[in-house]
Amino acid sequence: MVNPWDVIDQHGADALRWYLYTASPPGQERRFSVDLVGEVVRNFTLTLWNVYVFFVTYANLDGWKPASEQDSILYSDLDRWLLSELHVLVREVNKAFETYDVPGATRPIQDFVEILSKWYLRRSRRRFWKSGSDADKLAAYATLYEVLVMLSKLLAPSMPFLAEEIYQNLVIFGGSAAENPEGTAESVHLDVWPEANQVLIDENLNRDMKLIMKLASLGHAARNQAGIKVRQPLAQVAFSVSSQEESQALEKYADLLADELNVKRVTMLGSAGEAVQYNLKPLSKQLGQKHKGNFPKVSQAIQSLDAEVAARSLMNGQAIQVVVEGNPIDVLPDEVEVRAEARSGLVVSTEGPYLAALSTTLTDALILEGLAREFVRRVQDYRKQVGFDIADRIRLYVQATPQLSQAIENHRGYITGETLAVEVIYSPPPESVASVQLELENEKGLFGAEKSA
């Protein structure tokens, strides 16, 4: 037996409730342990809390407050997509509660928070980081604020304490309550239950962004196969998709994909054969049992097909047809092994009809840019370790090998912008400044930083 108070003391009542609600429908058997409840904290609560902390940190830094006139906000496609998905979520949660479907009212929230953190926030970070306030930055704040307040309301029945904490800080202390004290509930548990705004739901936009996220995942998979970090820029990635509508979506959001995958160019493959060469291997066990003595003829007929066309159908879960002695024969996807060999200079990742072909050739310019990006990461880690505030401007001291120095100089603007450095000084750090030894690939160096007056 697990003592519930041990679980609550370690992980809190909200995590316990959330695990019970999402694990399985009421009345069904389920596994239970302190560690399983802890996974809720690691995989969901902390993810949501980190998004909330990110918003609060930068909103306070910029002195941002929610605007009363929402119609004047110029939302980006990424903002409109997130708000569309948010109201789809509200619709799903309401439908689930109305039918007493507890997992159906909680699991979609967890899925939404994952795309909020891993896609929207990651793709929007620079909008919050940039100095000054423009229309795009204000739209990002307004979008994230609306999403977090709505999530606090949807979470109120299942995670009452976390929901109240977020609501109190965003709405009561920092939001609309100050502007409209008569029209704001004093607690999330006293507020009006949300209803989906059908006007904000754009199914086409949701479908397009789902495709872009899938293609981004394939691109990352290709990087992993090649063993190349995302911080190393690459020249190009090319995609193969399954329809003209998807081709149009890829063209529209090519810049988003290029930034996510850190490539200079995103292109469309005219056919998957441009990136890979397909081979079809009939499986003797399945086809031999099915066709007996005719197996050699069936095998020969399969191998005489256009390999690329047949492979795309099979990978999409569709049967193909061959003709043997005048008789049509259906061949199922699990009866043929599809082998794909990437063409020279490319690494390929596939899923069903989708394919990503990543160019892995590194030029000198790409190598230098990769060194600069890795250097930025080391400086950002340094800022955290020495306790600099996120808004602190710094003076950066660097002593490095010639190639690393060249990388820093070539990308000085990018480095100073990312690290908030007012200047880069090519000399060893003063004795009063903590220094860090640097080793990137085959390049070595020493750097340190101090607050700029």
Domain-ending residue, one of 313, 334, 362 = 362
Pair 323, 348 in one domain: no
Pair 315, 182 in one domain: no
Average pLDDT over residues 178-187: 66
Pair 10, 118 in one domain: yes
Pair 49, 163 in one domain: yes
Pair 8, 86 in one domain: yes
What digits encode the pLDDT tens for the residues 19-63? 877 766 666 667 777 777 777 778 888 999 999 999 999 999 888
Q: What is the CATH number of the domain that holds 41?
A: 1.10.730.10
Pair 231, 357 in one domain: yes
pLDDT at position 77, please?
Answer: 95
| Residue showing tokens 């001291």 | 397
Task: Give the Cα separation of 118 and 51 in Å (integer).
Answer: 10
Task: Give the Cα separation of 223 and 238 in Å (integer).
Answer: 13
Q: Give residue 431's domain range.
A: 365-451
Pair 135, 65 in one domain: yes
Average pLDDT over residues 357-375: 94
Domain-ending residue, one of 136, 166, 200 = 200
**Which token pair is 56?**
């609060």
pLDDT at position 446, please?
Answer: 92
What digits encode the pLDDT tens for the residues 389-426? 888 999 999 999 999 999 999 999 999 999 999 999 99
Q: CB–CB of 403/443 below 8 Å? A: yes
Q: pTM for the complete prediction?
A: 0.82
Average pLDDT over residues 240-265: 93
φ/ψ bin of 39: left (φ > 0), alpha (ψ from -120 to 50), beta (otherwise): alpha
Pair 302, 326 in one domain: yes
pLDDT at position 177, please?
Answer: 46
Domain-ending residue, one of 200, 226, 261 = 200
Q: What is the DSSP letter of 317?
A: T
**pLDDT beyond 70 at 275:** no
Nearest to 161 by CA among 302, 16, 22, 305: 16
Pair 121, 190 in one domain: yes
What band does 68 get if pLDDT is binned at 50, 70 and 90?
low
Pair 268, 332 in one domain: no
Q: φ, ψ for residue 240 (rounded to 5)?
A: -120, 130
What band does 178 get if pLDDT is binned at 50, 70 and 90?
very low
Length of the chain: 453
Task: Give the Cα separation of 402 and 407 in Å (integer).
Answer: 9
Task: Give the Cα separation of 425 and 258 in Å (integer).
Answer: 32
Split into its structural domains, the chain has a count of: 4
What digits encode the pLDDT tens for the residues 115-171? 999 999 999 998 998 766 788 999 999 999 999 999 999 999 999 999 999 999 999
Side chain identity at residue 143, one-letter code: T
What average pLDDT is seen over the chain? 88
* Lowest mean pLDDT, pick from 6-10, 206-210, 250-254, 282-286: 6-10
Pair 93, 214 in one domain: no
If one counts every other C-beta atom within 10 angstroms of the C-beta of residue 244, the result is: 8
Q: What is the CATH number of the domain that holds 315?
A: 3.30.720
Pair 9, 121 in one domain: yes
